[in-house]
Amino acid sequence: MAETEFALDPDATLQLEQVTVRRGEKLLLDQIDWTVEEDERWVVLGPNGAGKTTMLQLAAANLHPTTGTVAIFGERLGAVDVFELRPRIGLSSAALAQRIPGSELVSDVVVSAGYSVLGRWREAYGRLDVRRAKALLERFGVGGMADRTYGTLSEGERKRVQIARAMMTDPELLLLDEPAAGMDLGGREDLLRRLSHLAADALAPAIVLVTHHVEEIPVGFTHAMLLRDGRIVAQGLTSSVLTSEHLSETFGLPLRIERDAGRFFARAV
Ligand SMILES: Nc1ncnc2c1ncn2[C@@H]1O[C@H](COP(=O)(O)OP(=O)(O)OP(=O)(O)O)[C@@H](O)[C@H]1O
C-alpha cells in the first residue's frame, strides 16, 4: 500500500504525499506533494477553481484525501482523532465566517474559538481569555470594535475579526483563505502590513495564505505554491516560484510580474 511507503517527517507541520481528491469524475487535486515546516510562511496562489480551498480543507483536517497521505503535526489523517488536531489549527475562511451569527458580540466571536464553538451560548469565559481576545483584535486593527455586534461590521472589519478568532487558540498552523478579499485599498495595505509583522514573528505559527492576487502576498512570506486545475505548477521559495513564466502558466495568459520592496505586482502583457 502507498501509505506504508510514506516517509513521515515528524517535525513537519504539514505533509502531503501523492494526495488526490476526487469528486465523481472531477479531480479537485491531483498527486500533490507538499511539506510545510514550522517556520515557513506559504502563499498558495491560483485562479478560480484551481483547488486552493480544497487544499486548505485538507490542511485544516476538515477533509480526507481520496488517495495519498496527509500528515499534520506528524500525525497521519485517518490514524488520529481530528478533534485533537483541530484546536491546534487556526482557520479563517468564508465558509466558517458565514456561520457566525450577526448578533454575536465581536469579543465573543473571538473568545469562543478557544471552546471550538460558534455562538457564545452559556460558556463562561475566563478573564484571561477575554484579555487575549481583545489583544488579538487590537493586533489586527479592530480593537475598538470588541463590544459591537458582528453583524454591524463592514466586510473588511469582519475579515480582521476572523483572523483574530483563528489566532485565539495560539495555533501551531494558521490557515488564511483570501484574508484581503473584500477590503478597500487602505484596509488591504494595513492588513498586509500586520500579516508581514506576524510573518516576521519567530513565535508565530506556520502560515498558509490562499489568494488569487500576487498583490495580496505580504512581505516576508517565504514560500509559494502555484496551482492550476488541481496540479502544482511550481512550489518552493517565493523568489524562485514567482516568475513571469510560472505565473503565466498558472493563469493561462501572458503575465509580467514585478517585485518592489518585497511586494509583487502583476499585469498582462
Ligand atoms: N463536490 C464537488 N463535486 C464536483 N466538483 C467540485 C466539488 N467541490 C468542488 N468542486 C470543484 O473543484 C474545483 C476546485 O475547487 P476549490 O474550491 O478548491 O477551488 P479554489 O481554487 O479555492 O477556487 P476559488 O478561487 O474560486 O475559491 C472547482 O472547479 C470546483 O467547482
Asked whether 44 and 55 are in contact (CB, 8 A), the reply is yes
Q: Between 123 and 197, name the one with better pLDDT.
A: 197
- CB of 28 within 6 A of ligand 1: the answer is yes
DSSP SS3 for 93: coil
| Ligand 1: centre distance to CA 159 (Å) | 22
Report whether 200 contacts 216 (CB < 8 A): no
Q: DSSP 3-state assignment of 269?
A: coil
Range of lowest pLDDT (59-63, 98-102, 265-269): 98-102
Q: What is the pTM of this model?
A: 0.92
Measure the CA–CA gap between 87 and 259, rounded to whole angstroms. 36
For ligand 1, is residue 50 a contact (CB within 6 Å)?
A: yes
Question: What is the set of domains in the chain, with CATH numbers?
Answer: 2-99+172-268 (3.40.50.300)
Atom index in ligand 1 nearest the CA of residue 51 equals 18
Instruction: Give the Å distance between the CA of 11 and the centre of ligand 1.
Output: 30
- The rounded Å distance from CA 79 to ligand 1 centre is 26
Q: How confident is the model at residue 1 (pLDDT cuts 50, 70, 90)?
A: very low
pLDDT, tens digit, for every residue of 144-192? Answer: 999 999 999 998 899 999 999 999 999 999 999 999 988 899 999 999 9
Q: Are 214 and 257 in contact (CB under 8 A)?
A: yes
Question: DSSP string of 95-164?
Answer: HHHTTS-TTSBHHHHHHGGGGT-SS-TT----HHHHHHHHHHHHHTT-GGGTTSBGGGS-HHHHHHHHHH
- Helix (H) or strand (E) holding 21, with range, is strand 14-23
Q: Find the 48 Cα to ligand 1 centroid distance in Å.
A: 8
Spatial contact of 53 and 210, defined as CB atoms under 8 Å apart: yes
